Amino acid sequence: MSKIAFVFPGQGSQAVGMGKELAEKHSDVMDYFTKADKTLDVQLSKLIFEGPKEELTLTFNTQPALLTTSIAILDFFRKSGINADFVAGHSLGEYTALVAAGALSFEEGVFAVRKRGEFMENAVPNGEGSMAAVLGLDRDPLSAVTKEVNDSGFPVSLANINCPGQIVISGSRSGVELAGGKAKEVGAKRVLPLEVSGPFHSPLMKPAADQLREVLDGTDMQDAKIPVIANVTAEPISSASEIKDKLIEQLYSPVLWEDSVQKMIALGVDTFIEIGPGKVLSGLIKKVDKTVKTYSVSDEESALAVVDALKEEER
């Protein structure tokens, strides 16, 4: 029996104006943006709808902005009666998945990722950490490269294992540069520095993880009503205590996205619906397995098109 997974994007998918048209047409969608403004006591909705882009891109703004937009779009889409058997999200998107699964309330999710963004931003002095995408090199040889550089005193590690041939490394600026050079020597096609404000998903984020634990301990985390595929294990989890532990680990551990997609496919998922701005995850999923169906829902037009396509398949 075929199964459906809802997947939620992380940082990098944001865009000024995301969700605006849907919110202007549907008051219940707008309610989410209003709730986010009230929860954070800032005009987040104005920033999402009007920018400026430079401010929206700041980590502590991007994270609640993406969660708010994705959940607002999800609420509209769910009215069509389509539900998921599993949910997953890439990094920040895991929090959106937890709200979608009923483990976190929307307001607590928005507040948690705002604080998460602040902690991540402040964990390492600006300019001292970096990240880079390594293209065309498998996990094992790249892992050996990062271990060698790390062991020589320059912190660097695998951060996002996105799909075959696309892995992000993270660490100190010198560690990432050294590992990038060595990766090219052993066969990487390209190494692309990423425009980020810190070395996310690396052990350098452990100070942020300690602070995040305090915030998550203050939330009313519930057991998930839909299994959530955890970034750090690529396994389904649903108990509140395990979810909390995995969110802490996620800050300083690799995001196993490729493994998560493979796990969902092994569990019977053949349809992935990306909910939120952009189509980044749909592209990664297709690189993991070309045979699965992927859809993207970012506005009313794409939501209706996906509903029509799924109903057509049922006939």
Going along the chain from its start, the domains and CATH numbers come out as: 3-123+204-314 (3.40.366.10), 129-196 (3.30.70.250)
> Can you give the pLDDT at residue 146?
98
Q: How far apart are CA 94 and CA 119, in angstroms?
A: 17
**Beta partners for 295?**
273
User: 313 or 140, which is more confident?
Assistant: 140
Which tokens is 30 given? 């707008």
The residue to which tokens 């057509």 are assigned: 312
Averaged pLDDT for residues 68-88 = 97
> Can you give the pLDDT at residue 166?
97
Q: How far apart are CA 193 and CA 172, in angstroms?
A: 13
For the chain, helix (H) and strand (E) counts, in that order, are 14, 10
Q: How confident is the model at residue 181 (pLDDT cuts 50, 70, 90)?
A: very high
> Can you give the pLDDT at residue 127?
84
pTM: 0.97
> Can you give the pLDDT at residue 215?
97
Q: How far apart are CA 44 and CA 68, in angstroms?
A: 9
- Burial group, residue 101, by CB count within 10 angstroms (0-12, 13-18, 19+): buried
Mean per-residue pLDDT over the chain, rounded: 96
Is residue 17's pLDDT more than 80? yes
E-only strand ranges, the chain: 3-8, 86-89, 129-135, 156-163, 166-172, 190-193, 228-229, 236-237, 269-275, 293-297
> Can you give the pLDDT at residue 1?
64
Just list the catalytic residues.
91, 201
Contact 14/65 with Cβ under 8 angstroms? yes
Contact 149/182 with Cβ under 8 angstroms? yes
Contact 176/202 with Cβ under 8 angstroms? no
